[in-house]
Amino acid sequence: MFAIMEAARLEALHVAQDPATGLRAIIAIHSTKLGPALGGCRYLAYPDDVSALRDAVRLAQGMSYKAALAGLDQGGGKAVIIRPPHVENRGVLFEAFGRFIETLKGQYITAVDSGTSSADMDCIAQYTRHVTSTTSAGDPSPHTAMGVFAGIRATAQARLGSDDLEGLRVAVQGLGHVGYALAEQLHAAGAELLVSDLDAGQVRLAVEQFGAQPVAPEALLSTPCDILAPCGLGGVLNAQTVGQLHCAAVAGAANTQLASVEIADELEARGILYAPDYVINSGGLIYVALKHRGEELPAITAHLSRIGIRLTEIFAHAQADKRSPARVADYLAERLLYGT
């Protein structure tokens, strides 16, 4: 356990179990240097406890990097609730999780993530105020999509010489909360959409509403396009897929798109510009962080628009140093977090 913590430079790990409700939860606090640790809560089945621990630690570290480069006074954390095979009462399980968060006295603030909903956050909110993305706070996904859209424009400018998306072929993998809202904005900006999702209904909707061209999920990554926007699960850019890409740039919402940072070097070598995932998809985090502090929408939107500016800086830095944007983003985040 300590080796895992040390490798990620994790500040603290908190674990709770409550047989009465079935709660088995891990809260990983990566860093509180820039502020209280903020990050979502996953509710998933894991093959074993170590997998759950690794997931929480890895994601908490990612949140620190994301918050730092988003210019937030916020640290990074993540929670994992191990989903039991059967749960009697989901509400009381999340209420117990709320009591667990409260014991940390504001060091960790939770939010919606894979497997959790605003209704779950409402249950947590009965026992702690250190919770965001409740029903009243609203869904962060549209704000993530807004940030990704700004990031795609910055990426197009850097790689193709113009941020005008009219006629640009954008392949969107995953039409969920973020991907669908992104597709809507891309369509409004005149982009030509190629879309895939495991859910045929979502694809049908995008075809009807945006004139999108459907692509089979297994064919999307190798489909010729200007910009590939991964908006499904993580790990899509790996040793098997990197050689198949036929795009000028990758810019999408999915977390942890790269199987490893070396994949970013391969993209760079192939002339494919990569928008670091945790920079381009930070809109949701910006929204929940600022909303939690009581900021109004205009201030939040203004902060969101800086995602494009930040990416432009990273691309310029990467070009000057002949390094991949992913490595530059890590370097900039680590300088803020560790001063190195």
Binding residues for ligand NAD (CB under 6 A): 140-141, 144, 173-179, 196-199, 202, 217, 231-234, 253-255, 281, 284
Residue found under tokens 């996904």: 141
Name the catalytic one among 78, 105, 291, 322.
78
Does 177 count as an annotated binding residue? yes
Q: CB of 206: closest distance to ligand NAD in angstroms?
A: 11
Q: CB of 255: closest distance to ligand NAD in angstroms?
A: 4
Nearest to residue 247, comparing CAs of 152, 337, 336, 332?
Answer: 152
Q: CB of 220: closest distance to ligand NAD in angstroms?
A: 6
Does 175 count as an annotated binding residue? yes
Does 176 count as an annotated binding residue? yes
Angle at which helix 283-292 crosses helix 141-160, to 10 degrees, equals 140
Q: Which is nearer to ligand NAD, 67 or 96 (CB)?
A: 67
Q: Do the beta carbons of residue 285 and residue 72 sit within 8 Å? A: yes
Q: CB of 18: closest distance to ligand NAD in angstroms?
A: 27
Q: Strand ranges (DSSP E) for the chain? A: 12-18, 23-31, 37-44, 75-82, 108-112, 169-173, 192-196, 213-214, 227-230, 249-250, 273-274
Length of the chain: 340
Q: How far apart are CA 229 and CA 154, in angstroms?
A: 13
Residue nearest to ligand NAD (CB): 176
44 forms beta bridges with 82
Does 76 count as an annotated binding residue? no
In the residue annotation, 322 being an active-site residue is answered as: no
Q: How far apart are CA 202 and CA 212, in angstroms?
A: 11
Active site residues: 78
Which residues are known binding-site members for NAD(+)? Answer: 174-179
Which residues are known binding-site members? Answer: 174-179
